[in-house]
Structure 1
Amino acid sequence: MRIPRSELRPVGSPFHGVIPGAQAYPLRQIDLPVTFSSRANFRSEVLTFEVVDFPGSYHAILGRPCYARFKAIPNYTYLKLKMPGPNGIITVSSTFSHAFECDREHYELATAVINSSELLQLGESSTPVVLDYNKPTSSMAFRPLEETKAVGVDPTNPTKTVRVGTQLLAK
């Protein structure tokens, strides 16, 4: 965007939700004007953005502060964002194929980041542990709160079962 670093402000804390289970540490913050719709019916507000230094499928993430400022209502089912404008309702739309591509890219990025951070934490000194799932250890053992029974889930293969509680209500 060719914004000089002098325009960026220091930021006080990390944010969550971009990478599952991990914090993101922004480099800085910046206030930018955001406009929705066309000249005939538009809304403009100044929003604060966190500037981060990692690739992502999203160029900007608009969340609750944006929705509150614009009095916008997102509808995730129909991929629409609606807000009041001076000449009627402003509707911002997307397509399911575009949303799918963004989600797939975000999933791949998040998985790569999580995997790389987990690998760094393991280090070279750790020794691999091989678990035999047929012989559960005491820490792996599942202990139900009530009695259970095995119920078959595949009529063609009697070894495929699931355990359910015997005290469940029949409704």
Structure 2
Amino acid sequence: MGLSVDMLKESDIGFHGIILTRPAYPLGKISLDAVFGTPSKFRKEKLGFEVVDWESQYHAILGRPDFAKFMAVRHYAYLKLKMSGNNGTATTIHGSFSHSDNCDRDFQKIASKF
């Protein structure tokens, strides 16, 4: 992405449940434009990301403030996220169970090496 550690701002947020018995802390945070959808139906907002230095199947985790900013409705069972788009129409983001499962398997292989 062309980003360097020097671009990160200090963060004091800890993640719990990632490392057993202790919180994990990010390297820092950064604000980036996030775009969801297609060119005809999209939504763009600036979001704050906590940058971490550990192997994970997740590339980004959206928290409650981000869902509120997008006024998004999520359905975990169907891997769908709905939000209003650029022209007021609903934009639906579709997840993939097979892609998620493959990422999880890859992560388990990496984690088993430690």
Relative to the length of structure 1, the TM-score reads: 0.57
1:82 corresponding residue in structure 2: 82
Aligned length: 113
CA separation of 1:102/1:63 partners in 2, compared to 1, >3 Å: closer, same or farther?
farther
Aligned-residue RMSD, C-alpha: 2.4
**C-alpha displacement of 1:58:** 1.6
The answer to whether the Cα contact below 8 Å between 1:40 and 1:87 also exists between their aligned partners in 2 is no
2:16 corresponding residue in structure 1: 16
**C-alpha displacement of 1:102:** 3.0
Percent identity of equivalent pairs: 42
* 2-structure distance, mates of 1:36, 1:20: 33
The answer to whether the Cα contact below 8 Å between 2:71 and 2:84 also exists between their aligned partners in 1 is yes
Deviations 1:37-93 (A, max 9, x none): 122221111111111111221211122222111011111111111111124110000
1:5 corresponding residue in structure 2: 5
* 2-structure distance, mates of 1:32, 1:52: 15
**C-alpha displacement of 1:110:** 9.3
Aligned partner of residue 65 in structure 2, secondary structure: helix
* 2-structure distance, mates of 1:109, 1:73: 32
1:53 corresponding residue in structure 2: 53
* 2-structure distance, mates of 1:37, 1:50: 22
2:62 corresponding residue in structure 1: 62
Aligned partner of residue 48 in structure 1, secondary structure: strand
How do 1:129-168 residues align onto structure 2 when only pairs under 5 Å count?
none
* 2-structure distance, mates of 1:18, 1:70: 26
* 1-structure distance, mates of 2:27, 2:36: 27
CA separation of 1:68/1:25 partners in 2, compared to 1, >3 Å: closer, same or farther?
same
How do 1:13-52 residues align onto structure 2 when only pairs under 5 Å count?
13-19=13-19, 22-52=22-52
* 1-structure distance, mates of 2:103, 2:20: 15
2:93 corresponding residue in structure 1: 92
Name the structure where strand makes up a greater proportion of residues. Answer: 2
Amino acid at match of 1:97: S
Which one has a bigger Cα radius of gyration? 1
Alignment gaps of 5+ in structure 2: none
The answer to whether the Cα contact below 8 Å between 2:12 and 2:25 also exists between their aligned partners in 1 is no
